[in-house]
Chains A and B, each alone.
Chain A
Amino acid sequence: MISKKTAFFFLLPALVLIFIFLIFPAFWTLYYSLTDYSLLGASTEFIGVQNFINLFTSARFWNATILSFEFVFFSAIIGQAGVGLLLAMLFHRKSGWLKKLVRNLAVASWLIPAVVVAYAWAAFLDKEYGLLNQIIGIFGFTGIDWLNEVPMGSIIIFNIWRGAAFSMLLFTSALKTIPPSHFETADVVGASLWDKIKDIVLPQLKTFIGSDLALITLWTFNLFTPFLLTGGGPGRQTEILPIYTYFKAFKYMEFGLGAAISAVILFINLTLALVYLNYLKAE
């Protein structure tokens, strides 16, 4: 209906915006990461890979990196994917109010703005008044100051709660692609639940699980929300890479170093995104 020329003009505004505000900043990050740009220094000089050398010899950077990997592994790969798969399988080919209720609650946890859930969790985990310690109290245990005594564990559980819905939704639609006859056949030969998971679900969901893991890893890796719960503390116990970047760039105003961390994150993101797109193609 439209000519190639018109099509070009239809595309142009979107591409211009995307270029300026998405693609260009990525390359600019790379450029900044090679300078000593900061608000303190008067002039900006090109210093090569000095930022990266500083970074890779900094204990604080390695602390952040290790925390980030822990956070991703336990909260996303084990937690969100596991709980998501459990939810999807639990309710597969079931109906009723219980399914609806639990699924909607999970989706609500996923949709409610981060700032709000951060407040809700801060209240939930509060040492003196928090609901969690109250419940523990009923069973005769003494509550603890979760965010201070097990900060990493707290943000991991928080992030499982926060993001399980995505994996649940993805696996739910994935399970629907398995013909019911496969389960029925398994029932006929008397396969156990574990057999069904091992022999039917996992092999047939391989690409879905791959996509899911790549995506939630990517997102969790870039998640800033824990900052709202712990601010990276106590000490540096929850200072994952995104929080570390924020501190370096916007608290200490070391933009060059901040950009170098961003560049590292960009590189890791690129790897994960390529893995994901590979799965997309395979589907």
Chain B
Amino acid sequence: MRLVKKLLFRVLFYFASVLLGLFFVLPLLWLFVTPFRSDPSLAVRLPANPTLQNFIKVVNNAYAMRAFANSAIQALGSTFLVVMLAALAAYALSRVDLPGKGIIVYILILFSSVVTGIAAMVPLFFLLLQLGLIDTHLGIVLAFSGGFLPTGIFLMKDFVDSVSLTYEESAVVSGASKVQIFKDIILPLIGPGMVVVAVFTFAQIWSNFLLPFILLRSNSKMPVSVAIYTFTNEIGMPKIGLISAYSLLYVVPIISLYIFTNRRYGFKFYGGIKG
């Protein structure tokens, strides 16, 4: 009786796992097979004659490549700004007894979850218009930085808090100067935290569609997320081969970052922090 029950549970476990696995994998299959087909279509077919032709088309498409560069500029620029400023702010919040710092952190987290791209798109558009930053990389970078800094500061502060102050004090007593302490002690110790914040910020900005869709106008500045979307309408017919290959290339940095963080730090999970 017990054995039967146990067996039943095992069968149920495998059945449920396989079903859920299928649920997650089926919609993605198309993405991974189509780019290698010589006759790309909306159907999922294993490539009869695997080809890299679609990728070559992407590489030869100036607009597509330009969009890659734009994505890189915007995502890397914002990430750099977020990581640097978040590290400075988090260090100050963690190490110095500032009046009302609990409130500051609370307000930052509150606003970063309340003011989403949707809720702020109208004023953000006009703000950049007034500042002359509409349709510029800088405008996008600043808008993203403002949005991601609170979470960056929050993550970074947690990290700095976990690094014991005695490392710095020990260096002070050893006779190190402020610059030496920063370079030799603080930076290496909080470096991993900065990497985590960087990966987290980069991945989200790289994928973001809404802000560039609203804040950019000219094709020459569009990141991949918007560029892919416009491929459909270019000649009335979607270029399936091109789109699928381009999509796959676009996904590569995200998947690599995931594998990298997973290997290096274990995919640390920060409850309640995304977008």
Residues on B with C-beta less than 8 A from A259 are 122-123
Question: In the complex, how many angstroms separate the beta carbon of B61 from the nearest chain A beta carbon?
Answer: 17
What's the Cα separation between A266 and B109 when bound, in Å? 14
Question: In the complex, how many angstroms separate the beta carbon of A6 from the nearest chain B beta carbon?
Answer: 8
- Pairwise interchain contact A255-B28, C-beta atoms closer than 8 A: no
- Pairwise interchain contact B127-A28, C-beta atoms closer than 8 A: yes
Q: Does A62 contact B (CB under 8 A)?
A: no
Per-residue contact bits, chain A 2-14, to B (CB 8 Å; 1 contact, 0 not): 1110111011011
- Pairwise interchain contact A215-B209, C-beta atoms closer than 8 A: no
- Pairwise interchain contact A109-B28, C-beta atoms closer than 8 A: yes
Residues on A with C-beta less than 8 A from B153 are 14
Q: Does A50 contact B (CB under 8 A)?
A: no
Question: In the complex, how many angstroms separate the beta carbon of A165 from the nearest chain B beta carbon?
Answer: 9
Q: Does B206 contact A (CB under 8 A)?
A: yes
- Pairwise interchain contact A1-B172, C-beta atoms closer than 8 A: yes
Q: Does B150 contact A (CB under 8 A)?
A: yes
* Chain A interface size range: 35 or more
What's the Cα separation between A211 and B273 when bound, in Å? 11
- Pairwise interchain contact B271-A170, C-beta atoms closer than 8 A: yes
Residues on B with C-beta less than 8 A from A109 are 24, 27-28
Nearest residue (CB) in A for B269 is: A169
Q: Does A179 contact B (CB under 8 A)?
A: no
Residues on A with C-beta less than 8 A from B30 are 120, 123-124, 131
A-B contact number at CB 8 A: 288
Q: Does B126 contact A (CB under 8 A)?
A: yes
- Pairwise interchain contact B210-A25, C-beta atoms closer than 8 A: no
- Pairwise interchain contact A115-B24, C-beta atoms closer than 8 A: no
Q: Does B17 contact A (CB under 8 A)?
A: yes
Residues on A with C-beta less than 8 A from B111 are 18, 22-23, 26
What's the Cα separation between A174 and B23 when bound, in Å? 24
Residues 1-35 of B at the A interface (beta carbon under 8 Å): 13-14, 16-18, 20-21, 23-31, 34
Per-residue contact bits, chain B 96-135, to A (CB 8 Å; 1 contact, 0 not): 1110000010101111111111111111111100000000
Residues on A with C-beta less than 8 A from B120 are 22, 25-26, 29, 262
Per-residue contact bits, chain A 178-220, to B (CB 8 Å; 1 contact, 0 not): 0000000000000000000000000000001001000100110
Residues on A with C-beta less than 8 A from B142 are 17, 20-21
Residues on A with C-beta less than 8 A from B96 are 2-4, 7
What's the Cα separation between A208 and B226 when bound, in Å? 36
Q: Does A90 contact B (CB under 8 A)?
A: yes
- Pairwise interchain contact B21-A173, C-beta atoms closer than 8 A: no
Among all A-B residue pairs, the 6 with the closest Cβ atoms: A21-B146, A113-B207, A7-B92, A10-B92, A28-B123, A129-B43
Q: Chain B interface (Cβ within 8 Å of chain A)? A: 13-14, 16-18, 20-21, 23-31, 34, 41-44, 81, 85-86, 88-89, 91-93, 95-98, 104, 106, 108-127, 142-143, 145-147, 149-150, 153, 165, 168-169, 172, 178, 181, 203, 206-207, 209-210, 214, 224-226, 228-229, 243-244, 247, 250-251, 254-255, 258, 267, 269, 271-272, 274-275
9 contacting pairs across A/B (C-beta < 8 A): A11-B89, A13-B89, A107-B258, A114-B225, A131-B26, A249-B122, A258-B121, A265-B116, A273-B114
